[in-house]
Structure 1
Amino acid sequence: MTAPEDAIRARRRLTNKIIAAHEATRLRPFFTADARLIAGDGGLILGADQIVAAFDGQFRDPDFIDYVRTPGTVELDAAGDRAAETGRWVAHWRTGEMSGAYMAAWRRQTGQWVIESELFITLAG
């Protein structure tokens, strides 16, 4: 059986690949229905449907290339049902890039790790 930390890191790598492929609808299963995302500019996006719609909007920008999130740490709670991922992110456009730090809260739901909240802080770009 895969260790939870390894499973979360693998799911993060997969979301990076889906974003690079600009396939917004494939991101839906990675979020709880009531997920919350605070974007790098401080904007709040509520719910998986709105998060996927926000990705889709960015994918329509012809200059957008990808987001790459690189986990630094993944910590589990005592029960092993929730986890905190922290790391660095970078966004690439044909015209430049932005980067910063992030934190994600993961929850084990029906045997799979899903994101319940994410916070991105833009520090450069």
Structure 2
Amino acid sequence: MTTPQDAIAARRKLTNRLIAGKDARRLAPFFSPDIKVIAGDGSLILGARDVLAAFAGQFADPDFVAYVRTPQRIELDADGARAAEHGTWVGTARGAADQSGSYLATWRKVTGQWVIENELFVTLR
């Protein structure tokens, strides 16, 4: 049986692949409708529709390559319905230095599937 930590890590790996493939629509099932994201520049993005639009805008930039999130630790709550994913991220674009830092994602289990309800990205480099 797959552990919740393994399921979340697998979903993160898949989001990394979808971001590299530059297809924002395919990311939709990974986000809670009321997701809140604090981007690496400190801006706030509210709701799955706006998060997907932000990705689509970045994907339209021919220099955008990818964002890769690498989980370092995934912790579960006592009920096994929420999880905190801690890790590092790297953003790559052609002709520019990579940006990178730390992140925290909050996952919630909804109808048997893990979805992201919050993400905080801190740019450190």
Work out whether the TM-score is over 0.5.
Answer: yes
Counterpart CA distance in 1 for 2:101 and 2:122 is 5
Q: Which runs of 5+ in 1 are unaligned?
A: none
How many angstroms does 1:60 deviate by? 0.5
* Secondary structure of the corresponding residue to residue 11 of structure 2: helix
How many angstroms does 1:30 deviate by? 0.2
1:59: which partner in 2? 59
In percent, how many aligned pairs have the same letter?
Answer: 62
How many angstroms does 1:84 deviate by? 0.1
1:121: which partner in 2? 122
How many angstroms does 1:17 deviate by? 0.1
Write the letter of the residue equivalent to 2:81. D
Q: TM-score, normalised by structure 1?
A: 0.98
Runs ≥4 residues deviating over 2 A? none
Counterpart CA distance in 2 for 1:24 and 1:18 is 8
Q: TM-score, normalised by structure 2?
A: 0.98
**Two-structure CA RMSD over aligned residues (Å):** 0.5
Q: Which runs of 5+ in 2 are unaligned?
A: none
Write the letter of the residue equivalent to 1:46. L
Q: How many residues align?
A: 124
